[in-house]
Amino acid sequence: MKQTIFKLFTTACAAAATTVVVMAFSTGPPIKRSGATVDGGTDCSACHRTFAPANSDPRGKVSIITAGSYTPGLKQNIDIKIEHPEAVRWGFQITARPVSDPTKMAGTFTASPVIRVQCNPSGDSPCNGDLEFASHRSAVVTAATGSYTYTVEWTPPINEVGDVIFYAAGNAANNNSANSGDFIFTTSLKIASGGACNQTVKPSVRTLSNAGSFANTLAPNTMASVFGLNFSVPGRSRLAASGDFVAGAFPKELACIAVEIGGKRAAITYVQNDQINFQVPTTVGAGTQQAVVIANPGRPNELRSDAATVTVTNYAPSFFTFNGKSIAALTTDFKILADSAVVAGGVKAKPGDTVLLYGTGFGVTDPVYQVGELADALTKVRDPFTISIGGTTLAASDVLYAGIAPGSISGLFQFNVKIPASAPNGDLPVVVTIGSLSTQTGATIPVLK
């Protein structure tokens, strides 16, 4: 199935950090007490304050012990060891997050008579994709001081999500039935996918195309897709998030896959077994160029596909669409502009309304952004263009903005335009022409007076 860049990219610009927690609550601590910034920065010493802040006593610690890597979908045990020479009662909490987007959960924990799994915002497991926090169900008391180890069963995500980070907090308590006299410790541990960069089958390229129109002509910085086989393990997919960024830009390698056009690396936004979404390198030359997909790039086991050819021009204008015809567009109050039969909840525009249209391939901008970079300011299309709606060419005053969508990757363009007052009802064709090339035929927006 073709996964559109518009849908996948607009969910890809986010992410930040990761979490885990512990307290001496006899039935397990509340969620979000690990001290992780992404969860608010609070740790268990907010209640157990005798020796606050956490990690203030060098005689103790909490450790996360794993196999050192994970295999997507394959269960493994995670040990949480709490140590202190004076403690006899022990508690913990742990959570797992993708490094690429720590606002999300990485896999699931298994509840047991010993382990409680709580969900965010509320309730106990199953959490159905919500954040999970595993902790003691009843804090263990040991006959002697020293340490205690809890074991939690963790099932990694089915899809390879890159590195996973665990955050944990441990409570080394004195068993006085109060919050006083307890030692709080926090830690984190990052592990990699054991299946990373060990692909053994050479990638196979079938076609390359513009991600908006699916035409086979590309341009520098255009969002594009390559279709083929053996790009990833079947059934897995990987969407780039801010944790994958390199120097603030989308990565040029994702899920152990890279793409080269004319010998230059593309920025990657999405990978699945039969499709890669990418951005054409900024400096690729015009003309016929060779395209190669590379598995395990830069490693001794690197595998390069047979070269495919693609035509590169200065412009490859196209709109993203919801169904091949209805342009991906929004109203100024960010409602989806589409017939409700195409997109549930979609609305129609009125003559005189201003609408936001999204596309790619409109050439160089001012200022120029390189492949994969995010536009941090209004960045306009540099070269002359015209735009028409329902056959009426818009006056310059009716084109309020034309450039990179603010805060987005340098290949995602946004046009803020005013619909002509004379526009009739119906699905009206919209055409942008730049450098004698035009957006795809049949791309429309719905208008109703």
- Per-residue pLDDT, averaged over 154-171, amounts to 90
Burial of 167 (0-12, 13-18, 19+ CB in 10 A): buried
Is-same-fold flag (37-193; 198-312)? yes
| Cα 50 to chain centroid, rounded | 40
pLDDT level of residue 3 (50, 70, 90 thresholds):
low
Q: How far apart are CA 260 and CA 281, in angstroms?
A: 8
Question: Which CATH code for domain 198-312?
Answer: 2.60.40.10
pTM: 0.74
Predicted pLDDT of residue 21: 29
pLDDT level of residue 1 (50, 70, 90 thresholds):
very low
What separation, in Å, do the N-terminal and C-terminal C-alpha atoms of the chain show? Answer: 36
pLDDT level of residue 355 (50, 70, 90 thresholds):
very high
- Work out the mean pLDDT of the chain and round it to a whole number: 90
Asked whether the beta carbons of 44 and 20 are under 8 A apart, the reply is: no
The residue ranges of every structural domain in the chain are 37-193, 198-312, 318-447
Summarised one tens digit per residue, pLDDT across range 89-123 is: 999 999 999 988 889 999 999 999 999 999 999 89
Predicted pLDDT of residue 243: 76
Please state which architecture CATH assigns to domain 37-193: Sandwich (2.60)
Strand order, beta sheet including 108-109: 61-65, 76-84, 146-155, 108-109
Summarised one tens digit per residue, pLDDT across range 415-438 is: 999 999 999 999 999 999 999 999
Predicted pLDDT of residue 47: 84
